[in-house]
Amino acid sequence: MLKLVGFFVVVGSVLGGYVLSHGQLMALWQPFELLIIGGAALGAFLISNPMTVVKDTMAACGRNLKGKHYGKEMYMDLLSLLYEIFNKARKNGLMAIEEDVETPESSEIFNRFPRVTLEAHLLDFICDYLRIMAAGNLSAIELESLMDQEIETALHEAMASSHALGKVSDGLPGFGIVAAVMGIVITMASLGGPPEVLGAHVAAALVGTFLGILLAYGFVGPLSVALEHMATEDIKALVCIKTAILAMVNGIPPQLAVEFGRKVIGSHERPGFKELDDHLRGR
């Protein structure tokens, strides 16, 4: 919702100021200029990125426009899930959680936390490393190294959408100039005509430059930054899981292991110690 409000503020401020200064609003309606700029930007985006990045970018934009993804409730559920899994493993041994991590969709523990299980990358990360813990004899250092490599790869993939949109934003002013130059070409072909016709052609050409700059700095550029924040948010959840699992591997009791995970959560989403403790006791 905040993103949509921001878009309305950009449009309202620009068009409102233009109209208040006695500008003719319909003079800005140049669909062919928009076609040139938007089509060229889309084509460049498709040329410069593999299909996986194109699809991920579209999906990420949709997710981002829906608003905040990870909140306090999500982290409460994530830490509660880890606590219950750790507690079961501590009481009955690591082999007791093997069925849970092999088929989480039928696990009673996992099914109690749908917010977490609906996030496929979180579910896979948890199950993969619990499976490794149950099946192997890796030290905490070896496990941490493996986790760090996977998190680094996940961050690189998550940032790809932001970087792709950032490149489009950088190119939009240039495409606006392309549209403007093409408008000037049309204007030059109309030399000798009535002044009002020449004026309309020049206005259309200038609108091309205006649209390229506005789209770059008012829409696509800010959306690129928003996707970067979202990618960082996604990775922070993996870091939380990593920290809690490593604490468990090092012999920390489940209650304190999830406290280790809680500490790496950002201050705006982090549940309080007593809040989490009451939540766990309530369950």
Q: Binning pLDDT at 50, 70 and 90, where does residue 283 land?
A: low
Residue 50's pLDDT is what?
Answer: 94
The three-state DSSP-derived secondary structure of 47-92 is HHCCHHHHHHHHHHHHHHHCCCCCCHHHHHHHHHHHHHHHHHHHHH
- pLDDT score for 68: 63
**What rounded mean pLDDT belongs to the chain?**
87
pLDDT digits (tens, 9 = 90+) for 262-279: 999 988 888 888 888 877
DSSP state letters, 12-55: HHHHHHHHHTT--GGGG--HHHHHHHHHHHHHHHHHHS-HHHHH
Q: What is the dihedral of CA 73, 75, 78, 80, to 10 degrees?
A: -70
For position 228, what pLDDT does the model report? 92
Percent of the chain with pLDDT over 90: 41
The pLDDT, as a whole number, for residue 80 is 92
The model's confidence at residue 194, banded by pLDDT at 50, 70 and 90, is confident
Check residue 7 and give its pLDDT: 86
